[in-house]
Amino acid sequence: MPTFTNHFNTKTLDPFTLEKGYEALLYEMQSGNIGYYDLPKSSVALVEEITPLRLEIEKYYDTIAVVGIGGSSLGIKAIDRLLRPKTPNAKKIVYFENSDPVSILHEMNRIDKTRTLFIIISKSGGTVETLSIFKRLIITFDLVLDHSQQILIISDEGSILSQFADEYHLRRFVIPANVGGRFSVLSSVGIVPLTLAGFDTLSVLHGAQDFLERFLARKEEHVIQKASYYVTHSARMPMNVLFAYSDMFEEFGKWVVQLWGESLGKRNRCGERVGLTPISLIGSVDQHSFLQLIIEGPLNKTVTFMHIKHSDVELLIPKLSLKYLEKSDFVNGISFNHLINAQCQATMQSVLQSGASVDEIEWDKLDEASIGEMILYYELLTSLSGALLEINTYDQPGVELGKQILAGYFQK
């Protein structure tokens, strides 16, 4: 279970603001308009439903090609990256996301057509990148469409992609209508490909449900405090840095950036532009790049330090002293996990001393339940912040405008 510590002063927070945030989320849950709150429990049935399919495809496929972008891929990649070291026998997952021809060709060259299950994911069903790549895959690999067991569709009920699936008698799974793309990782979007790949998604869901229940029982007040602090200080500190100490958090950080940026960069009721800008860093690498700006640049950022207390990998720094290189001998004989955690703590102390606002997330260990908890934590934090900013957390009018302009380019 992760441990959450807010190092900023919570005593100055307005109790009314804290209650306002909690009541807003309670209303959202009870209204049924926002569906991600139900996913940790409702998706358990989905795992059970696709278990026979998982056993079936194990005979034929060793690779899963996920064709999707944004909310249709980032959460899958995050969980895949975090769990891959402890699930080495999981099927290889290849991702087709961007309309970059170099990347598309590179990923296609990694595929054995006869051993690959293609999963096409688009909530709206009309995502131009996804459909364009799908067309390319059909032609390149000469995919048979009608009654194909090699193509699986995940989309909204009634979308054009779902209609396509029904026309060609393809397997398809539904994304609940009240679940937005960036909040959909615990729906069929993430659960189907990750379960079919061989990951323990039930434990992820159980971890998420446990955290949600503790939140509702007011046993996770730090989430409300953090959202309240961020929003009430957003004029002075409009940026949040997630400084995560493990390469395995790189994809998770990208998922957080989408969740945070697309949800919280909006116009409020008065038409004012508001938002909290997410920045994802990896320690200790970015101690040698971005840290200088945090320490001596403007105090306009909050910083979240994230690290793993216990690692499954015990790799030691050799007790080796090399001529001229004795300067680094003080860490000889300790584990790399000990080193990276010490670097995290030292950096966090330096940032605190600089006057920046800091909070800390310590994973006791990296496992499925902890990942589920962390997904719910960031989703709740996003919803709380959006409610306190008095915006619609769940739309993305700015993104839709860009799509309309793009369509116009090719219709002239």
| Residues tagged active-site | 262, 288, 403
Give the separation between CA 73 and CA 317, rounded to whole angstroms: 36
Place of tokens 């690959």: 116
Residues contacting residue 337 through CB under 8 Å, at least 6 positions apart? 308, 310, 311, 313, 314, 315
Pairs from 42-49 (Cβ < 8 Å, separation ≥ 24): 42/176, 43/186, 43/187, 43/188, 43/191, 43/201, 43/205, 44/202, 44/205, 46/173, 46/187, 46/188, 46/191, 46/192, 47/191, 47/195, 47/201, 47/202, 47/205
Angle between helices 15-31 and 368-389 (to 10 degrees): 110
Give the separation between CA 137 and CA 66, rounded to whole angstroms: 12
